[in-house]
Structure 1
């Protein structure tokens, strides 16, 4: 079975792996890291954590038939010392939603439009992989990121998000950053969503 076939068959383990990778970096954040810049333009580490926690709420909501914009893209009211806890306490609901028997048979509402749940899950894999890199880069250590995980969602994302489509309302990504064809999959994924893999704090 090829990687693309595996993704199409059941991408849920990939999303769980991407979330686990994010957890590794969320747990490393210290209070004095929260005001650091990130590759997300205009966002500090605090802003990025706020979005990541929101994503961990939005994904189960979407997979269960909800509309994505019913869930804010940033959470409010989390104390600076509580980000790791806020992320951790939302993970069981993500696991539960992914474990529902009929989830892969559903058509779900995604910001980019209605699509099969499996396709939406792959887009969220790419989002968590990208934001995992954002956080790791902001903290100054990307050495623990899994290039194979990035490889699983690169081709599906390129197919779903052509280079010429960059619409802030539906697909909020910048222009593609050129990356060599033989670069690691993570670098190519980052370039496709408008990140510069060479970014440093």
Structure 2
């Protein structure tokens, strides 16, 4: 999959999650998510901070952000895409340094789909994934989490994968590869 195709997929994933973020009610911001020990508000701040850190390696910094991470999400996500469109074959990822842009986009698009899943299950909402999107991203998720990936294990971005289950959908398989229980629920989190 070439750079242009990865940019299109990333733009799609960001548009989908951006829609979901805009609809998060105030009352849900403190709800737990399956993403570590983060609440919804903390997950949104994390995404905004990481997107903006990368965007600032290519674009001038933003004047200011709001106190509500929902309000900043679409603007910062658009800056991320603009930066990745302009960066060329490598992009600087603070604090890691330069990485191949195609690889970064392959990781990012999968992360955005999984963070969208994080939000859906935290909100008790049904996750609607466009036809074929999870199937297209499953090979990227497998590559991102293959043995020896710097994203796995201690110090990596992902927890240990959950065991493969032939009954899993493509989306459940992606979630499991990134170390989340596809059957996670807020009630289990409270135990």
TM-score in terms of structure 2 length: 0.79
Deviation at 1:153, TM superposition (A): 2.8
Q: State which of 48, 53, 64 in structure 1 corresponds to 2:48.
A: 53
| 2:92–2:99 CA contact under 8 A, matched in 1 | yes
- Unaligned residue ranges in structure 2 (runs of 5+): 60-64, 187-191
- Distance in 1 (alpha carbons) for counterparts of 2:38 and 2:125: 18
Deviation at 1:41, TM superposition (A): 2.3
TM-score in terms of structure 1 length: 0.76
Deviation at 1:114, TM superposition (A): 4.9
Residue 153 of structure 2: aligned partner: 167
**Aligned ranges for residues 141-156 of structure 1 at < 5 Å?**
141-146=125-130, 148-156=132-140
RMSD: 2.9
Corresponding position: 1:179 with 2:164: yes
| 1:163–1:176 CA contact under 8 A, matched in 2 | no
Number of residue pairs matched by the alignment:
181
- Distance in 1 (alpha carbons) for counterparts of 2:99 and 2:166: 29
| Deviations 1:75-133, CA, capped at 9 Å, x for gaps | xx743xx3322112223322322332xx3433654777753211111111111111111
- Distance in 1 (alpha carbons) for counterparts of 2:171 and 2:43: 19
Corresponding position: 1:26 with 2:10: no
- Unaligned residue ranges in structure 1 (runs of 5+): 1-5, 66-76
Corresponding position: 1:190 with 2:175: yes
SS across alignment from 1:180: coil
Residue 84 of structure 1: aligned partner: 70
- Distance in 2 (alpha carbons) for counterparts of 1:94 and 1:33: 26
